[in-house]
Amino acid sequence: MMRKRSVIRSLVLSALYGLIANFAHPVEPTFYKLLNLPDYMFGVAFAAMATTVFLFSPFWGKLADRYGPNRILCISYIGYGFGQLYFFFLAKNVLHVVLARMLAGIFIGGIGVAHLLYILDNYESENKGKGLAAYATVMAIFSAFGYLIGGILGDISLNFCLGTEVVGLWLLSLLHFVFLADKEREKTAIDIPSLLKEANPLRSFALPKEDISIVFISFLLVCMFTSFANNCYEQCFNYFIKDQYGFPPSYNGYLKGGVGIITLIANSTICSFLLNRTDIRRSIIHVLTICLIMMCGIVLIDKVVPFIILNVVFFGFNAVYKPLLQSMLNGFSRKSSGPIVGIYNSISNIGTIIGSLVSGFVYESSPKGSFVFAAAAFLLAIICSIVQRRNDPQDYVKID
């Protein structure tokens, strides 16, 4: 089959990435327990990975602009595979686990940036918002099913599950090389010193004056607080149900697989309706409020069955707000989407780093402490969403 530019093929390969990259997540708590690592390790390891995602995302963005996002995806999948190989099969103590996660994060940054840029490169201008929302939805759904597969494989064999993820990432690189192509780019010599200067992650926060407003800053704060809440919750949840309830990897997988079905239904009904029929700046306030209510219930209830039910409902609505945010992101784009995507990724990664660290260290003193912090972050995100809505009379973030 000939290589060509195709957003459909890109979304199919994104779905495969969502599957494969989540095989290991349900077995990581078991992995940490087998290595006798401290309880905080699950948060520290993820924060280490998120830090290098933050540091290297602008670098990959510049390379993607120069060489094309599909080429960057081919390289990044290979590098991510080697990072996972180091993590799963060579790292045996805290130092090596942190180094392995940092190595993986370098290439995960390339994957995240390149996926978004490929969509922005190949969708018509009026459909870019829908393309970003479709990508977020595909990733949410197939990530959940990746958990399911990983949980089942983990019960069979931990090494087989982890090895399957490594090989799968390398196969994804080959599939991108065979089936997808980048649009033609101007051939210019690359200036290494200039590249390194422009790839400084702090430069992503420097925006033109016309982009700096209370509306955009409020939007970025919503992105940061929701990213913090999601990661503070997510990193704790996997470890919590293993440590507190003794769930095997398959239980985590079955739970996330069920969530995948719920996410599919929620995104094809609730999310689709909100994107096409409502002012999403107002709708996201209601979605975040439901997330806050569910999180408060998770904090207060200890019995297994109602605890799991609350988490399942939370997962469904937690998957809805990200497509809304990514659709809103397109509303802020001007002549160039690069700076807007850059600051969106950077601010989201800050939330990821801090949320993961808080999750790990709070767990030592209070296993449910991470859920309390996640609830507080959702409350702050709701407040910022209200500020954004009240200060933005325009209707440009609504999709017709």
Q: DSSP readout, 273-336? A: HHHHHS-HHHHHHHHHHHHHHHHHHHHH--SHHHHHHHHHHHHHHHHHHHHHHHHHHHHT--S-
**3-state secondary structure at position 180:** strand
pLDDT score, position 126: 67
Q: Which two tokens stand for residue 46?
A: 């993820």
Q: What pLDDT sits at residue 103?
A: 96
To 5 degrees, how large is the angle CA 271–CA 318–CA 111? 90
Identity at 366, one-letter amino acid code: S
The residues, any chain, with a CB within 8 Å of residue 164's CB and separated by 6 or more, are: 20, 23, 153
**Domain ranges for the chain:** 7-183+208-390
pLDDT in tens, the chain (400 residues): 566 778 889 999 999 999 999 998 888 888 888 889 888 888 899 899 989 988 888 888 888 888 889 999 999 999 999 999 999 899 989 999 999 999 999 999 899 889 988 988 887 766 777 787 788 878 878 888 898 898 888 888 888 999 999 999 999 999 999 999 888 766 666 667 776 676 677 766 666 566 677 888 899 899 999 999 999 998 888 788 878 888 877 777 777 777 777 777 777 788 778 877 888 888 899 999 999 999 999 999 989 889 988 988 888 888 788 888 877 876 765 544 556 666 777 788 889 899 989 988 898 888 899 999 999 999 999 999 999 888 875 544 443 3
Quick one: tokens of 167?
């090989």
Q: Hey, what are 187's tokens?
A: 């051939």
Q: Residue 188, SS3?
A: coil
Write down the pTM of the prediction. 0.78
Q: Return the half-sphere exposure (C-beta side, CA atoms, 13 A cut-off) of residue 275.
A: 28
The CA distance from 26 to 191, in Å, is 43
CATH of domain 7-183+208-390: 1.20.1250.20
| Residue 71: per-residue pLDDT | 93
